[in-house]
Amino acid sequence: MVEKRLDTTFTALADPTRRAMLADLMLGEKSIGELAAPYRMSFAGAAKHVAVLARAGLIERRKVGRQQLCRLNPSQLKDASDWLRQWERFWTDRLDALEVALKQDPE
């Protein structure tokens, strides 16, 4: 189950426009039209990006009148962060071992 959520999350994050939309939402709730504006894309194009982000659970949408407002759901990034953290530990351990080995090398 976690693997499927990770796949969905990383698929959503793979697109630079969706990452930028998430960054925009860090500043607060925005409509789909507001999210589309910096990219000169149609409402339909932006709505497709928003749908991918919503399926991944990275954003939440609510309807206010005729507008759909989007807001960031940062808690969904926790699984991805935890997964990345294991690799951070792996590389930190490897680099620490390399540093020790280089200091022991008599040249």
- Concatenate the DSSP letters of all residues of 17-50 into one string: HHHHHHHHHTT--EEHHHHHGGGT--HHHHHHHH
Which amino acid, one-letter code, is at 104? Q
Please report where in the chains the tokens 């690799």 appear, as a residue: 87
pLDDT band at 84 (very low <50, low <70, confident <90, very high): confident
55-65 mean pLDDT: 95
Beta strands in 53-104 (DSSP E): 59-64, 67-72
21 alpha carbon, distance to own chain's centre? 10
What does the pLDDT read at residue 1? 60
In whole angstroms, give the CA distance from residue 96 to residue 93.
5
Confidence of residue 106 (pLDDT cuts 50, 70, 90): low
In this structure, of 14-28, 38-52, 73-87, the range with the lowest mean pLDDT score is: 73-87
Taking residues 6-24, what's their average pLDDT? 95
